[in-house]
Amino acid sequence: MTLAERGVGTPTVSVGELIQGDRSPIDGDSDISLDEYVDEIVRSGFPGLRELEDIVRRAQLQGYVERVIDCDIADVSGRSHRDQHEVDAIIERDDGRVIAAEVKLSPTVDDHDVRHLRWLGERLGDDLLDAMVITTGRSAYRRPDGIAVVPAALLGP
């Protein structure tokens, strides 16, 4: 379940609108604290696990992660990530155009945090419809470089 589906915060930024590519203004304020984000991460977004006792939930999540690693992730041993660029999430439309996101635990965003998004924008040009950094901060806004900064609790469908 997303944070919005869990009733954490009220979304003011729509992924559906971002994927339209008009780079509309971004705004909204959240009162969700870092402690509340951490609690939601630990409780997980799986409806059947959220209300379990901590030790039982932890065992269930560990089993899930181990299965994903064993079955769904290709062998990554020995790969170097030096001088490579990566972005945490890409959402692609049918026409191949995308929005990109970085996810940061920090409540603030600086130029270092958006370097991979800017790099991707240079490579994709108009095919990058929008870019955002999802944070634990309080306010949603657009940086002067056009990249959206969105507290996780304000991001909705």
pTM of the model: 0.83
Number of domains in the chain: 1
Tell me the residue range of the domain where 23 lies: 13-34+82-156
3-state secondary structure of 21: coil
- Indicate the helix (H) or strand (E) that contains 62: helix 54-72
Residue 95 domain flag: yes
pLDDT for res 78: 46
Confidence check: pLDDT of 47 > 60: yes
Residue 116 domain flag: yes
Residue 28 domain flag: yes
pLDDT for res 72: 64
Strand partners for 98? 92, 128
Strands (E), the chain: 13-14, 89-92, 98-103, 128-135, 141-142, 148-151, 155-156
pLDDT for res 18: 95
The mean pLDDT value for 114-125 works out to 96
The mean pLDDT value for 121-131 works out to 96
Confidence check: pLDDT of 10 > 70: yes
Residue that is written with structure tokens 């959206």 in the block: 148
The mean pLDDT value for 130-134 works out to 97
Greater model confidence, 84 or 124 = 124
3-state secondary structure of 8: coil
Strand partners for 151? 135
How far CA 100 is from CA of 19, 53, 59, 119, in Å, comes to 10, 35, 32, 11
Residue 112 domain flag: yes
Residue 61 domain flag: no
Q: 73-98 pLDDT, tens per residue?
A: 655 444 444 568 889 999 999 999 99
d(CA 20, CA 9): 23
- Residue 17: phi, psi to the nearest 5? -75, -40
Of the listed ranges 65-69, 86-90, 95-99, 111-115, the one predicted with least confidence: 65-69
